[in-house]
Chains A and B, each alone.
Chain A
Amino acid sequence: MKYINHESVVKRMMSRLTINKVFKVIFFFATLFALLTLAILFYRIITQGIGYLTPEFFQNFSSRFPAKAGIKAALIGSIWLMFVVAPVSIILGVGTAIYLEEYAKKNKLSDFIRMNISNLAGVPSVVFGLLGLTIFVRALSLGNSVLAAGFTMSLLILPVIIVASQEAIRAVPNDVREASYGMGATKWQTVVKIVLPSAIPGILTGAILALSRAVGETAPLIVIGIPVIIQFLPTGLLSQFTALPMQIYDWAKRPQQDFQFVAAAGILVLMIFLLIMNSIAIFIRNKFSKRY
């Protein structure tokens, strides 16, 4: 008794192959759609903005006149913001991930905490803005300063960094940990010398992606009241400042047609900023990976 009738298999073959082809085309167009949208977006922004991307654009503060408007305050402000967000979020995030994966006992409470950190990554950024407004701006009286905005942004991206770091740490095979413990290494020595070197490419990728999100995020900055017209550079962590997405948002909503082009130039600067950050990440990642 045979269960497979080879004649009917051959008969069905044509329709199976057709379905296979149809889906290939569908998936191809899905990819094409995303790429085309991106290409159009790039094309529009570059053609609109490139004319305004002059040296003066980087040297001027924002202005009522499109021709005189510059991005200096916002660019320097975003860099200041990163100097707060990067160390705070990476130290807290990686520390939390190490604790949860290497030190914490696996029980219901730690499972509950792990699950909720993932949930936290899905909380809208406006909510983090409100949290920042309540805690950092008002309760801690930091005002709408670099520090307050930096802490708020750190909270926003912390869950992403924790989850990415946890994944990277979990990907380190257990047998090398056992080998380290087997020679009398402490947990800390094992983490520093064995786990982290292997996990660092993954951790950095996650951290840089998260930082990119922080650079481009606008909603929390609006909520904590970051101004857009600023005619000075930040002088310290408690100084007022503005950031790239705030500046772009402000220009884009102005009535004059020419400000649309200034906004496009601002978006170009933001994209170059992100590109540089990602290149740094790739550079660091390759440098660490080469050691093995």
Chain B
Amino acid sequence: MVQSLENGSNTLNGASNIVYNTKQLNLWYGNHHALKDINLQIKENEVTAIIGPSGCGKSTYIKTLNCMVELVPTVKTSGQILYRERNIFDNDYGVEELRTKVGMVFQKPNPFPKSIYDNIAYGPRIHGIKNKKILDQIVEKSLRGAAIWDEVKDRLQTNAYSLSGGQQQRICIARCLAIEPDVILMDEPTSALDPISTLKVEELIQELKADYSIIIVTHNMQQAARISDKTAFFLNGEVVEFDNTDVIFSTPEDKRTEDYISGRFG
């Protein structure tokens, strides 16, 4: 409610709490048509899960949301993605500006080969924060936010590589929180983790929902069912179905969605 009051007049038509509005998005890798006419509206303070079989375009889509996909030289796009009502494909919208508001957590934990402290402080530092006291506070807040402060508070100066895979992934989440993003994109964040680490990351996602909008790509349908509010099912580059997670998993409209979630393929 606080959010809608702050955003003022837009509350009536409901447009105010839409973070990402994707309109007629098409994407090609060279000649390969990877995303076809995607239309999706993603709301704030919700967990949106994107599921689908390998090669369906779900990772491509999430990487398009922060323009990471543009690192691939042969990519062409058409259509619009409005982030807070501004088209991210506009030439005057710098990717650096977008990425300070949209953090990303990757499939494989990818901490920098630096100390835990320097990993978390990296984002604030590149955005110009030099004050040691402020950096200390950001590091603690981010590590607490990623539920890993108690595990690492006594060894902030040790190399992040010395941590376990699950801890590294939470360090990466903390590093992402340190730039105080609006949205967090997660590209199969638990696929390289053991079940207990996965559980911790899932609990964390539930906690983060209160402050951030989260879009998560996952291979694991049970995970999508456990943690998400909305689920989009991708198949061959198209959105087959997008609805509340309980609807998708109980009474899907499309036959293909039903086949996929009941494990008949994929």
B68 touches A183 (CB 8 A): no
B99: chain A residues at CB < 8 Å are: 181-184
CB of A178 within 8 A of chain B? yes
Q: How far is the CA of A236 from the CA of B209 in the complex (A)?
A: 67
Cα(A193)–Cα(B217), bound, Å? 29
- CB of B214 within 8 A of chain A? no
Q: Is B35 an interface residue (CB 8 A)?
A: no
- Which residues of the other chain, B, contact A184 by a CB distance below 8 angstroms? 95-100, 123, 126-127, 179
When chains A and B are docked, how far (Å) is the Cα of A184 from the Cα of B181? 11
> Which residues of chain A come closer than 8 Å to B96, judged between CB atoms?
184-186
Beta-carbon contact of A182 and B66 below 8 Å: yes
- How many residues of chain B have a CB within 8 Å of chain A? 29
Whether a CB of chain B sits under 8 angstroms from the CB of A91 is no
Instruction: Determine the residue in chain A with the shortest Cβ distance to B104.
Output: A182
Q: Does A166 contact B (CB under 8 A)?
A: no
Contact A180 to B122, CB < 8 A, known contacts A175-B108, A186-B96, A292-B113: yes
Write out the residue numbers on chain A whose beta carbons fall within 8 Å of the beta carbon of B52: none
- The interface bits of chain B over 53-96 (1 if a CB of A lies within 8 angstroms of the residue's CB, else 0) are 00000000000001010010100000000000000000000011
> Does B51 touch A at the CB level, under 8 Å?
no
Distance A183 CA – B215 CA, assembled complex (angstroms):
16
B159/A292 in contact, CB under 8 A: yes
B114 within 8 A of A: yes
Encode A275-292 as 1/0 by CB contact (under 8 A) with B: 000000000000000011
Q: Does A194 contact B127, Cβ atoms closer than 8 Å? A: no
Interface assignment of B28: CB less than 8 Å from any CB of chain A: no
Q: Is B172 an interface residue (CB 8 A)?
A: yes
B249 at the interface (CB under 8 A from A): no
Q: How far is the CA of A176 from the CA of B168 in the complex (A)?
A: 13
Taking the closest CB of chain B, its distance from the CB of A193, in whole angstroms, is: 7
A183 touches B71 (CB 8 A): no
Contact code string B223-251 (vs A, CB < 8 Å = 1, else 0) = 00000000000000000000000000000
Taking Cβ atoms with an 8 Å cutoff, the residues of B that contact A are: 66, 68, 71, 73, 95-100, 103-104, 106, 108, 110-114, 122-123, 126-127, 159, 161, 172, 175-176, 179
Complex: A123 Cα to B123 Cα, angstroms: 45
Contact of A292 among B71, B106, B114, B127 (CB under 8 A): B114
- Point out the residue from B98, B100, B113, B176 that lies within 8 Å of A198, measured CB to CB: B113
Q: Which residues of A contact B (CB under 8 A)?
A: 105-106, 173, 175-176, 178-186, 189, 193-194, 197-198, 291-292
Q: Top 5 A-B pairs ranked by shortest CB distance? A: A184-B100, A184-B99, A175-B110, A182-B104, A183-B123
Bound-state CA distance A185–B126 (Å) is 6
Q: When the two chains form their complex, are residues B106 and A181 in contact, meaning their CB atoms are under 8 A apart? A: no
Closest chain A CB from B191 CB (angstroms): 14
What chain A residues lie within 8 Å of B112 (beta carbons)?
Answer: 176, 179-180, 194
Contacts of A175 in B (CB 8 A): 106, 108, 110
**Chain A: CB-nearest residue to B99:** A184
Cβ-closest chain A residue relative to B107: A175
- B73 cross-chain contacts in A, Cβ below 8 A: 105-106
Give the Cβ gap from B70 to chain A, nearest Cβ, in Å: 10
Q: Pick the contact of A181: B71, B114, B127, B159 (CB < 8 A).
A: B71
Q: State A292–B161 Cα separation when bound (angstroms).
A: 9
When chains A and B are docked, how far (Å) is the Cα of A185 from the Cα of B99?
Answer: 8
Chain B residues closer than 8 Å to A179, beta-carbon distance: 106, 110-112, 172, 175
Residues in chain B near residue A186, CB distance under 8 A = 96, 126
Report chain A residues within 8 Å CB of B172. Answer: 179
Q: Once bound together, how far apart are the Cα atoms of A198 and B161, in whole Å?
A: 14
| Assembly CA distance A106 to B114 (angstroms) | 30
What are 22 A-B residue pairs whose CB atoms fall within 8 Å in the complex? A173-B110, A175-B106, A175-B110, A178-B110, A180-B122, A181-B71, A181-B95, A182-B104, A182-B176, A183-B99, A183-B122, A183-B126, A183-B175, A183-B179, A184-B97, A184-B126, A185-B126, A186-B126, A189-B126, A194-B112, A292-B113, A292-B161
Name, among B100, B108, B123, the residue most crowded by chain A CB atoms within 10 Å (CB to CB): B123
A144 to nearest B CB, angstroms?
Answer: 47
CA A198 – CA B73 in complex, angstroms? 24
Using CB atoms, name the residue of chain A closest to B70: A181
The residues of A that contact B106 with a CB separation of less than 8 Å are: 175, 178-179, 182
Q: Which residue of B lies closest to A187 (CB)?
A: B96
Q: Is the CB of B176 within 8 A of A183?
A: yes
Cβ contacts under 8 Å, A173 to chain B: 110
Taken together as a complex, chains A and B put the C-alpha atoms of A180 and B71 apart, in Å, by: 13
Instruction: Please measure, in the bound complex, the distance between the C-alpha atom of A180 and the C-alpha atom of B172, giving whole angstroms.
Output: 11
Point out the residues of chain B lying under 8 angstroms from A105, CB to CB: 73
Cα A105 to Cα B113 with chains together (Å): 27
Q: A179-B172, A184-B179 are in contact. List 17 more A-B contacts (CB 8 A).
A: A105-B73, A176-B110, A178-B71, A178-B106, A178-B110, A179-B111, A179-B175, A180-B126, A181-B71, A182-B66, A184-B95, A184-B100, A185-B96, A185-B126, A189-B126, A198-B113, A292-B159
Given contacts A105-B73, A175-B106, contact A182 B68 (CB under 8 A): yes
Which listed residue, B100, B111, B161, touches A183 by the CB 8 Å rule?
B100
